[in-house]
């Protein structure tokens, strides 16, 4: 029997991409899954797919950039399933433009979703994860959390900050039984480019994540299952996944 059998997970950003893939993978491994995001119809479709294959799922529409929404999603999950063991923070957006070009409201959007949304969700979830005795947090970052790229300054800033937050959280709660991991994918075929308002930059990122040899969201989900399935004494605290043919430094 899978070590994930019966565990309860909340996946943010589950209406597409990596979030959707990991929700399906967790359900396939026997976990009960709450899926959150801003697109109700996609969440409903995802939960229907999980239920149709014998799994248990709950749709909890949520904008993680709003602290009250994030907390409500956590509490709805715990109330429905009776516990919360796993949190996957995969909600994320990208924008193009540096300090000069990108309007402050778009800087704020990227930071609020990519960084603060994770913090809001973790803060609300911690009491449940600590009570579980087998809590896990996986925060989805990017290779942009290791290397900056001037045209995508806000995204890199949010992901560098997420690295610092994740390690701080690991130190805070690791001694009390909650494992914390940051997962940094390289080019992965998702719709992350869709959030970019600049058409040329949107096309460039779409080409990057769709290039030959790019990873699939299911590949990232498989890595998460590995992290979650290890014995409790083992905490994979940081993992980077890159396409095999990607030979650029870092």
Instruction: Tally the C-alpha atoms within 13 A of residue 123's C-alpha that lie toward its C-beta.
Output: 15
Domains of the chain: 8-238 (3.40.50.720)
The pLDDT value given to residue 195? 80
Are 83 and 132 a contacting pair, CB within 8 Å? Answer: yes
29 secondary structure, DSSP code: T
Answer yes or no: 165 catalytic.
no
Looking at residue 112, the DSSP 8-state letter turns out to be: I
Using CA atoms, how far residue 21 sits from 7, 25, 89, 165, 216, in Å, is 17, 6, 13, 24, 9
What token pair was written down for 75?
């509490």
Average pLDDT (172-197) is 88
Looking at residues 179-198, what average pLDDT do you find? 84
Report the mean per-residue pLDDT for the chain. Answer: 93
Average pLDDT over residues 195-219: 82
**What is the per-residue pLDDT for 247?**
62
> Which of 81, 120, 155, 165 is the catalytic position?
155
Neighbours of 174 (CB within 10 A): 13
Q: So what's the pLDDT on residue 92?
A: 94
pLDDT in tens, 30-49: 999 999 999 999 999 999 99
- How many CA atoms lie less than 13 Å away from 95 in the CB half-sphere? 22
Per-residue pLDDT reduced to its tens digit, 81-95: 999 999 999 999 999
């Amino acid at each position: 029997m899978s070590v994930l059998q019966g565990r309860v997970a909340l996946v943010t950003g589950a209406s597409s991409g990596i979030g959707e893939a990991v929700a399906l993978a967790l359900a396939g491994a026997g976990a009960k899954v709450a899926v959150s995001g801003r697109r109700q119809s996609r969440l409903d479709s995802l939960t229907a797919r999980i239920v149709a294959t014998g799994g248990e799922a709950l749709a909890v529409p949520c904008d993680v950039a709003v602290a009250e929404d994030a907390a409500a999603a956590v509490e709805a999950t715990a109330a429905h399933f009776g516990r919360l063991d796993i949190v996957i923070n995969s909600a994320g957006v990208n924008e193009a433009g540096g300090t000069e070009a990108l309007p402050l409201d778009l800087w704020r959007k990227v930071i609020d979703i990519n960084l603060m949304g994770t913090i809001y969700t973790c803060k609300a979830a911690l009491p449940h994860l600590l009570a579980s005795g087998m809590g896990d947090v996986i925060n989805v970052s990017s290779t942009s959390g290791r290397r900056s790229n001037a045209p995508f300054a806000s995204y890199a800033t949010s992901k560098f900050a997420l690295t610092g937050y994740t390690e701080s959280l690991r130190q805070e709660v690791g001694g009390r039984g909650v494992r914390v991991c940051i997962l940094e994918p390289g080019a992965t075929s998702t719709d992350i480019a869709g959030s970019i308002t600049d058409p040329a930059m949107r096309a460039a990122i779409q080409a990057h994540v769709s290039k030959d040899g790019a990873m699939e969201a299911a590949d990232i989900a498989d890595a998460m299952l590995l992290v979650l399935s290890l014995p409790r004494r083992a905490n994979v605290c940081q993992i980077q996944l890159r396409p095999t043919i990607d030979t650029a430094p870092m």
